[in-house]
Amino acid sequence: MSPSLFLNRRLLLITGKGGVGKTVFTAALARAFAQQGKRVLCGEIVAHPDTPSQLREALGGPPPTEEPTLLRENIFGVLLTPTMGHLRFLQDALPIRVLADAAMKSQGLKKFLSAAPGFSDMGVMYRMLDLLKRDNGRGQPLYDVCLVDSPATGHALALAQIPEFLTRVLPGGPIFRAAQEGLRVLTDPAVTATVIVTLPEALPVTEALELERGLMRYRLPVSAIVVNRVPHDPFSTDERSQLREAIAAEQGLVYGARELQRIERAEVALKGLAAQRTQGVLTLPEVDFSSSASASTELGRLLAAQA
Ligand X SMILES: Nc1ncnc2c1ncn2[C@@H]1O[C@H](COP(=O)(O)OP(=O)(O)OP(=O)(O)O)[C@@H](O)[C@H]1O
Query: Using CB under 5 A as the criterion, which residues of the chain lie in contact with Mg ion when the complex forms?
Result: 22-23, 54
Q: Give 273 or 287: the residue with its C-beta nearer to ligand X.
A: 287
Find the shortest distance in angstroms from Cβ 72 to ligand X: 17
Find the shortest distance in angstroms from Cβ 171 to ligand X: 35
Q: Give 103 or 299: the residue with its C-beta nearer to ligand X.
A: 299
Q: Give 176 or 289: the residue with its C-beta nearer to ligand X.
A: 289
Q: How many CB atoms lie within 10 A of CB 248?
A: 10
Binding partner of 200, given Mg ion, ligand X, none, CB within 5-8 angstroms per partner class? none
As a dihedral over the C-alpha atoms of residue 268, residue 269, residue 275, residue 280, rounded to 10 degrees, the angle is -140
Cβ-in-10-Å burial (0-12, 13-18, 19+) of 79 comes to buried
> CA–CA separation, 200 vs 231, rounded Å?
8
Binding partner of 198, given Mg ion, ligand X, none, CB within 5-8 angstroms per partner class? none
Find the shortest distance in angstroms from Cβ 177 to Mg ion: 32
Q: Give 163 or 300: the residue with its C-beta nearer to Mg ion.
A: 300
Kindly list the residues in this chain that would bind ligand X in the complex (CB under 6 A).
Answer: 18-24, 54, 151, 228-229, 284, 286-287, 292, 295, 299
> CA–CA separation, 214 vs 156, rounded Å?
10
Binding partner of 15, given ligand X, Mg ion, none, CB within 5-8 angstroms per partner class? none
Find the shortest distance in angstroms from Cβ 49 to ligand X: 17
Chain mean position to CA 192 = 12
Binding partner of 19, given Mg ion, ligand X, none, CB within 5-8 angstroms per partner class? ligand X
Which residues partner with 77 through β-bridges?
42, 69
Find the shortest distance in angstroms from Cβ 153 to Mg ion: 12
> CA–CA separation, 19 vs 25, rounded Å?
11
Binding partner of 18, given Mg ion, ligand X, none, CB within 5-8 angstroms per partner class? ligand X
Q: Give 9 or 22: the residue with its C-beta nearer to Mg ion.
A: 22
As a dihedral over the C-alpha atoms of residue 204, residue 208, residue 211, residue 216, rounded to 10 degrees, the angle is -170
Q: Give 249 or 305: the residue with its C-beta nearer to ligand X.
A: 305
Using an 8 Å Cβ cutoff, are 15 and 197 in contact? Answer: yes
> CA–CA separation, 56 vs 65, rounded Å?
11
Binding partner of 127, given ligand X, Mg ion, none, CB within 5-8 angstroms per partner class? none
Radius of gyration in angstroms for the set of CA atoms belonging to the chain, rounded to a whole number: 22
Find the shortest distance in angstroms from Cβ 15 to ligand X: 9
φ, ψ at 285 (rounded to 5°): -80, 160
